[in-house]
Amino acid sequence: MPLSATLHADSIQLELLSGPLTGVYDPNGAGAIVFAVLAVSAEVEREGIQEKTLEGLDAAARKGNHGGRPTVVDDGRLAVARARHAKGESVTAIAKALGISRALVPAHR
């Protein structure tokens, strides 16, 4: 409902172009009911999508499928890379020595 107040303050109305509720609705008065119903509907839909997404990720994880990029460097290689960098070796040289593609090395700041 705070959104309805903001829309009303900016003289913005809701116009439904098709369906059983076709028409122009002001966010106050009788139009507030339409805004409320649509807001609740959107919230329920968003929660349903989120729930289904989490269920899908969980099902994939149970099958051994994990999203995201594959790991490029394990902890041991990372420690070696950091030690070499601390000694002043360039990121490019370290990546080459460890067999890491330059495309996977983030820009060093």
pLDDT at 55: 96
Phi, psi of 25 (to 5 degrees): -125, 135
pLDDT at 10: 80
Does the pTM surpass 0.95? The reply is no
Give pLDDT tens digits for 54-78. Answer: 999 999 999 988 888 777 788 888 8
pLDDT at 1: 62
In the numeric block, which tokens belong to residue 4? Answer: 């309805």
How far apart are the C-alpha atoms of 4 and 9, rounded to whole Å? 9
H or E stretch at 7: helix 2-9
In the numeric block, which tokens belong to residue 31? Answer: 């139009």
pLDDT at 104: 56
Residues of the chain with pLDDT under 50: none
Determine the longest span between alpha carbons in the chain, in angstroms.
71
